[in-house]
Chains A and B, each alone.
Chain A
Amino acid sequence: MFKSKIKPTVVLVSICLVTALLLSGINMLTKDIIEQRLKDKENAAFADVYPNGTKESDVDLSKYTLPDVITDVYAMSDGGYIFKANVVGKSPDLIIMCGVGADGKIIGTKVISDGETPSYSAKVFPLVEGLNGQYKGMDEKTFEPVLVGNATLTSEAYAEAVKASLQSFVILKGGSVDLRDPAEILNDNCNEALGTEGLAFSKWFEADPIVGVDAIYFTKDNGGAVIKIGELFIGIDEDGELTNGEHADKAESAKAAFNVYKNSTLTEVTLPEGAKTSVKKIYVTPSGNYVFELSADGYSMHLAEKYPNVEGKPIEIKLSLTSDGKIISTLTVSHAESKGYGEKCADESYYSQYDGKTEANYSSVEDISKATITSVGYKKAIKDAFATFKLLKGEAE
């Protein structure tokens, strides 16, 4: 019993403890030296991001609500700031310093520590670093991320650091910046429109087409809905009336859209014989449109096929078709695709490209860069939906 069960555990734990002790000893020896080196590097970076300024003081961050990625702020004598941001690119702890002048514009940016793959950082850093990088001269209003193909994660992280610095500058100067994430902003707008508080809203999947509105948001806890038209959020109660008198000019469109949403019940239909395996369920609406629940084999399933002990998960897709075979709406419900690549199949900017397409042209949607297997699997599921739709309609394939 001791030899087979307890001894291995004791030996492994002992080795771990001894290793940890030795490493903590080395850490004690080197910690101060490493900290000093980072400080020296920071000071050298000051000249690279703010050559004509003198550091006046460290800003007390507890007095402000700044973006989470900002870890340190240094006030400069001429009214500008240097921001230090810690972001996550391909690896964590990508530390970037941004000099923002008194006019709110970027003077220079510099990476002071990173663990990025050298081939990716070599594509991104030369474009954006120093006093002549592509971010120079941008302010909070004119900010545009510099995204580099095949180095997306690194360039997105760099953009996040710069954007956070510009937003922080506005906040420090007494301005206000909306730091909420898009989901928070959406929920707050919907709650305000509907006159509720703290409810979470979801976007209604268009089983029937809605005209003249961008989206409908609903919540489980209220029978009403919020209609989005452009930048406006219009609340409709469960009786179909506007919750407040604002935006009366849009009332007709909003009420019509609400009626479509309210009357769009789904009735499950039996899968026709010969239905493709990607098609899991089919529903029909009173208007004769169809909703397909699809299961696509993306990269996760490809790995599961290749490595038997890997558990794969298909991409779950919802697709609505008009009675004449035009895509009304597409939605990626869930997936387990690769981070940074295949996971983009869940971005609305990807799947909304299929809206309005037919069997003749849905394949023209561009594949997700570096996620071919995901893209091919996604399109195959849609192809299967069209084929099954034809069977439903009694047409030959």
Chain B
Amino acid sequence: MKKENRLSIILRGIITENPVLILVLGTCPTLAMTANVISALSMGIAATIVLICSNVVISALRKVIPDSVRIPCYIVIIAGFVTAVQMLLQAYLPSIYEMLGVYLALIVVNCIILGRAEMYARKNGVLNSALDGLGMGIGFIVALLAMATIREVLGNGSFAGFEIPFMDMFRIPVLAQAPGGFLVFGIVIAVMNRITAKRGGVKRKSFDCEGCPSAGSCHTTRCAGVGDDAKEENK
């Protein structure tokens, strides 16, 4: 496999393979924590820390963990980091801890984290995995901030808790609520698709493995029959 440019690993997670807007992963915290900018930023940072740490450890142990128990091992590692973050937040940043509430623990089952562990960390070196985690984490934060900005400014007439004086007349309260979250999410994904299409990004023809932007680097695409192991099976 061609050695990846380190910068491109980071940038990939922010734009062409943005976990939320392109890969459509981690939608639960995306919708739940984007009612305001502070909670979005907090969730993004917490998830990024867990993502980087778990990617590094999983990558470091990739030659040790047998295939048959890889998922349980990944879950234990990810859960360990989430628990550590929880305890540290509860001790040193209790207001953030309370703001994140139950969604902090739900980072364990965030698809982005297990997804990147499975798709990247277990096949690449420690530094590249860390950079991938960083890129995906920044992409997650950017996506959350974009949604939170729209929802809080247009929905609440404020930004990061600070009232915007003239926005009171133009508020659309539904955007701060659940239905508005879905609406904003859909619109932002549509805009992102348009931007990446214009830049010659991956055009998804379908929602199966073949249409996944990560298909090129994923070696276990049995269902689409395009991966190395699928080819091996079909010999």
Residues of A within 8 A of B (CB): 3-4, 7-9, 11-12, 15-16, 19, 22-23, 26-27, 29-30, 33-34, 37, 91, 115-119
Contact = CB atoms under 8 A, between A and B. Distances in A.
A12 B94 contact: no
B77 interface: yes
A159 to B, nearest CB: 22
Contacts of B77: 15, 19
A36 to B, nearest CB: 9
A37 B84 contact: no
Contact of A23 (B32, B83, B91, B101): B83
B11 interface: no
A211 B178 CA distance: 53
B80 A23 contact: yes
A115 B65 contact: no
Contact of B76 (A8, A15, A37): A15
The SS class assigned to the B binding surface is: helix
B84 A26 contact: yes
Contact of A91 (B66, B83, B102): B102
Nearest to A33: B91
B88 A30 contact: yes
Contact of B69 (A3, A12, A34): A12
B217 interface: no
Contacts, number: 59
A33 B93 CA distance: 11
28 contacts: A3-B66, A4-B68, A8-B69, A11-B65, A11-B66, A11-B69, A11-B73, A12-B76, A15-B61, A15-B65, A15-B73, A15-B77, A19-B77, A19-B80, A26-B87, A26-B88, A27-B87, A30-B87, A30-B90, A30-B91, A33-B91, A34-B90, A34-B91, A37-B91, A91-B102, A115-B101, A116-B102, A119-B178
A23 B91 CA distance: 14
Contacts of B72: 12
B87 A7 contact: no
Interface string B90-104: 111010000001100
Nearest to A16: B76
Contacts of B102: 91, 115-118
B169 interface: no
Nearest to A91: B102
Nearest to B90: A34
Contact of A37 (B32, B80, B90): B90
Nearest to A40: B94
A219 to B, nearest CB: 45
B64 interface: yes
B87 A34 contact: yes
B98 to A, nearest CB: 9
Interface string B42-71: 000000000000000000010011101100
Contact of B73 (A12, A115, A116): A12
Contacts of B83: 23
Contacts of B87: 23, 26-27, 30, 34
Interface in B96-126: 101-102
Contacts of B73: 11-12, 15
A68 to B, nearest CB: 25
A30 B68 CA distance: 35
B62 to A, nearest CB: 12
Nearest to A4: B68
Interface in B1-32: 32
A33 B101 CA distance: 19
Contacts of A26: 84, 87-88
Contacts of B79: 19
A19 B57 CA distance: 11
Contacts of B94: 37
Contacts of A12: 69, 72-73, 76
